[in-house]
Every structure is written in structure tokens, then in C-alpha cells.
Amino acid sequence: MASDPLHIKGSITIAGWELTEQFVLAGGPGGQNVNKVSTAVQLFFDLRNSPSLSDRIKANAAGIAGRRLSKDGVLLIEANRFRSQERNREDARERLKELILKAAEPPPPARRKTKPTKGSVERRLKEKAGRSGIKKMRGKPAHE
């Protein structure tokens, strides 16, 4: 199934040859089966050298991936939630898809600077003057 292409959305599709899967022993529930069958999946994807993704998506995905990205730019996704190899394989591919979808989101709109309203400025200054008066009353009385 690693040879099947992974359709992300619209024009974004990762070719099957870009994905590499490795099956390893998984801990957790499963009884005797855990010690005998390699059900956990390690999905490798060469993010840095992938021709399927734009540079912007690669940069965003690298930031989102964090420690899952090696120095060589290879993304590692480990899936061992389920007892069956097939469900773990689907889970790993789905998690890769979610990561790339999040990286492909458009950037948020730029923040526009705004000025405080005249009323809010006046209220702030009035509050400051009030606090100043309270603190002056705490001091020693002045000699007359």
C-alpha cells in the first residue's frame, strides 16, 4: 500500500515511491501477538527533496514536524495505536496527510494597526490620575 499515491487535496498528491514503510514490534495491548507480529508502522517521507510539494509547504511542514524531522529532511511518523498492521498503516498515512494539509493552509491576513479611541485614552488617563492620588495619600504628610 506504500506504493499507492497519497491524495492530499486538489493538486497536491504524494507519489507512492516517495513513501517508505517499515514495520516494527509494538508494545501495549495485544497479548502474545505483540511479541510475534510487527504491527507498528514507521512511515518515512523525504520532505526536503519531495517534488510533489511547493517550497512554502515544505518550509511550513518542517516547522510543524519539529523533532519528527531528521537532519537530512526525512519525516518519520510512527503509528502503533491499533493492533493490526493495516490500521496502523492507514493511521500513519492519515497523520501525514493532516500535517501537509495544515502546512498548506494560507497564511493569516496581515494585522492592521488601529488607534485607541478617544474615550478609552481619556478613561486610561483618568484611572492613572486616580491611582497616583491614592499613592500620594500613602506618603508622609507635607509640612505647612
- Give, in order, the Cα–Cα distances in Å from 81 to each of 16, 99, 109: 23, 18, 37
AA letter at 74:
V
Residue 115 lies in a domain: no
Identify the pLDDT of residue 29. 64
Q: How many domains does the chain have?
A: 1
Residue 83 lies in a domain: yes
Q: Which residue has the higher pLDDT, 3 or 82?
A: 82
How far is the C-alpha of 36 from the C-alpha of 16, rounded, in Å? 28
How far is the C-alpha of 8 from the C-alpha of 104, rounded, in Å? 10
Residue 138 lies in a domain: no
Residue 131 lies in a domain: no
Q: Which cell goes with 56?
A: 512554502
Q: Which cell goes with 72?
A: 537530512
Identify the pLDDT of residue 34. 65
Q: What is the CATH number of the domain that holds 47?
A: 3.30.160.20
Which range (31-35, 59-63, 106-110, 124-128) has the least confidence?
31-35
How far is the C-alpha of 115 from the C-alpha of 36, rounded, in Å? 67
Q: Supply the pTM of this predicted model.
A: 0.69
Whole domain around residue 41: which residue ranges?
6-104
- If you write DSSP's letter for every residue of 94-131 in order, what string do you get? HHHHHHHHHHHSPPPPPPPP-PPPHHHHHHHHHHHHHH
**pLDDT of 1 higher than 60:** no
For residue 47, the cross-strand partners are none
**pLDDT of 32 higher than 80:** no
Identify the pLDDT of residue 31. 64
